[in-house]
Structure formats: structure tokens, C-alpha cells
Structure 1
Amino acid sequence: MAPVSLLLNLLWILIGGAWMAFGWLVASVIMAITIVGLPWARAAFNIAVYTLLPFGSKAVRRDEVTGESDIGTGPLGMLGNIVWLLLAGWWLALGHFVTAVILAITIIGIPFAWAHLKLAGIALWPIGKVIVPA
């Protein structure tokens, strides 16, 4: 990890990244407890890690990385994302959006607000995404 990314990630954790990563982790655990929600639990856990350390990484569609379509990037993945959106995605996106608005009030918080807005988009549609180094 580059020194700038490390510094930004440390600041991120201190000013709001940790509580949103915890929200993703809670969503992951709740989905895992239901057994039926295991596919969503895995995606939520991966994004919880990304939410904790977002600088120096990015989320992209899995088929762009592998070059092949799979169950998460096809029609079943879209159906899974719709279910996710209804069950947990909207409140995680709302948490990221509210945090982004609060951080955007200050000039120093604008880069962190932008990162929260990116994460809000991922919160709405996480299935079929993979986290890769930027």
C-alpha cells in the first residue's frame, strides 16, 4: 500500500470509516445467520473489508477482471442484487450518504465524502463485484 493510501486509510478509519465497516459486518453476520443469505454474507464481508480500507483499492465487476460471466454477474446476480437492495442495501447506502453529507460540510472531508458516495453505490448493488488494487 502506498504511503498516501495508508495515511488516507488511517484518517478514514478515524472519521467515519470504522462505523460504516461495522455496519457492513453486521449485515454480513445477519445474512450468514439466515443460511439462505450466505451468498449475500460473502459479498457484504468483502465490502466490509473494502469499506474499512477503501483508498488504494477499487470495486469492479467480476467479469471485467476474469473475462468470463458467472452466476454473480448474470441474471441470478441481478436478482440477488434486487433482494439485497430490499433487505440491506438501502440502509447501508443511506448510512454512507448521510456520512458523506456530514463530511462534505468541511473542505478537508470532501475526499472522504466522495469515497462514501462511491460506497453508497456499491451498497445498492454489491453482488458480482470484486475488490482489486487501484
Structure 2
Amino acid sequence: MRLLLNLIWLVFSGFWMFIAYLLIGVLWCITIIGIPFGIASFRIGRYALWPFGREVVERRDAGVGSAIGNVVWFVLSGIWLAIGHAVTGALLCLTIIGIPLGVGSFKMIPVSLLPLGRRIVSSDELRPAR
């Protein structure tokens, strides 16, 4: 089921959001100060390309630097990516088949707003921990 959802997601939403994350990551990497933000954008872009079967978890070792970085990210990039996920999710929810994909898009809004201090792990990796 994950494979089918990921393939449908790739066609209707994943590829376009991946391109958005890729472009934003490249823009961030133009400056040395922006490289951590660019890397975060590339990481989340890969997640946006193939999301089902993976989850976002909070890193407990993230400190004040991540919080400050998230504020900068939110203002310059996060809000625009979140709007992209919200619009895509709303459009996907217009059809019954698209509802699970729309919900998946809405689940990506928090990580698109505040990506630093988060990591993306396989759902199978989390299962034993629960």
C-alpha cells in the first residue's frame, strides 16, 4: 500500500514539492551561513518526494541554535512551503481517492515550517521503540 500511495503522491504532489524544496535549498546554499538551511531543505525535499513509510521525529539534542534557525527559516522559506503544502492538500482532498494524499500533505506543514531539530526516520524503525 505504501508503494501505491507513494507512486500516486509522486505524480500529483511529490515531484512539484520536491522541486520547490530543491530550489529553496539551492538559494540557501549560495551563502555560507545558509548552508545548514539548504541541507535541511534538501533533506525535507527527499521526504516530500516519497513520504509514506517515513515519519518526522523531534531530536532531543537540538538546542537554541535550532530554535533561532527555525525562526529565520519560518520567515524566509517555511511559510511559503507550508502554503504550498496547504494548497496541494486542499486540492488533493477534492476527490475521495486524494483524501489520504491530502492528509499526507497537511502532515508535512509542521516540518516545512520548523525543519531544524527534526529528523526523518523509517516507520519500521519507530515501531520497536513504541
Structure 1 and Structure 2 fold alike (TM over 0.5): yes
Say yes or no: does 1:107 pair with 2:96.
Answer: yes
Structure 1 runs (4+) greater than 4 angstroms displaced: none
Query: Which residue of the other structure, out of 114, 118, 128, is the alignment partner of 1:125?
Result: 114
Q: How far apart, in 2, do the equivalents of 1:53 and 1:89 lie?
A: 19
CA drift at 1:94:
0.2
Q: Deviations over 1:29-72 (max 9, x none)?
A: 11011221011111111100000000000111122xxxxx1xxx
Aligned to 1:35: 32
Say yes or no: does 1:116 pair with 2:113.
Answer: no
Say yes or no: does 1:94 pair with 2:91.
Answer: no
Q: How far apart, in 1, do the equivalents of 2:50 and 2:32 lie?
A: 27
Q: How does 1:13-92 map to 2 (within 5 A)?
A: 13-63=10-60, 69=61, 73-92=62-81
Q: Which runs of 5+ in 1 are unaligned?
A: 64-68
Aligned residue for 1:106, secondary structure, equals coil
Aligned residue for 1:33, secondary structure, equals coil
CA drift at 1:108:
0.7
Q: Deviations over 1:78-101 (max 9, x none)?
A: 000000000100000000000111
Percent identity over paired residues:
43
Amino acid at match of 2:81: L
Q: Which runs of 5+ in 2 are unaligned?
A: 124-130
In angstroms, what is the RMSD of aligned CA positions?
0.8
